[in-house]
């Protein structure tokens, strides 16, 4: 099969103009002020729409415990 009509570069580029990726939109958390994605729980303080949803205290305590254990093993 042979190509009857060839597309020019400009025609191809016009068709592909909608294929680009768009950047993510971020907003600031109401409680702590860190950037977070829209309609998502804040990963820093664990709140969503002003309500506490996640208990981030456990997460921080676990990280500290793990870091302390790693530092004692290096010695």
Within 8 A by CB and 6+ apart from 30, the residues are 47, 50
pTM of the entire structure?
Answer: 0.51
3-state secondary structure 4-72: CCCCCHHHHHHHHHHCCCCCCCEEECCCCCCEEECCCCCCCCCEECCEECCCHHHHHHHHHHHHHHHHH
Q: Under DSSP, is residue 28 helix (H, G, I), strand (E, B) or coil?
A: strand
**How many CB atoms neighbour CB 42 within 10 A?**
22
DSSP 22: P
> What pLDDT score does 73 carry?
81
Give mean pLDDT in consecutive 10-residue pieces for the chain, a chain of 75 residues: 81 92 90 92 89 82 87 78
């Amino acid at each position: 099969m042979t190509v009857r009509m060839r597309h020019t570069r400009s025609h191809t580029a016009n068709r592909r103009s909608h294929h680009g990726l768009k950047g993510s939109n971020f907003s600031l958390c109401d409680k702590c002020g860190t950037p977070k994605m829209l309609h998502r729980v804040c990963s820093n303080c664990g709140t969503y729409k002003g309500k506490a949803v996640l208990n981030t205290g456990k997460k921080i305590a676990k990280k500290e415990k793990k870091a302390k254990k790693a530092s004692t093993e290096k010695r």
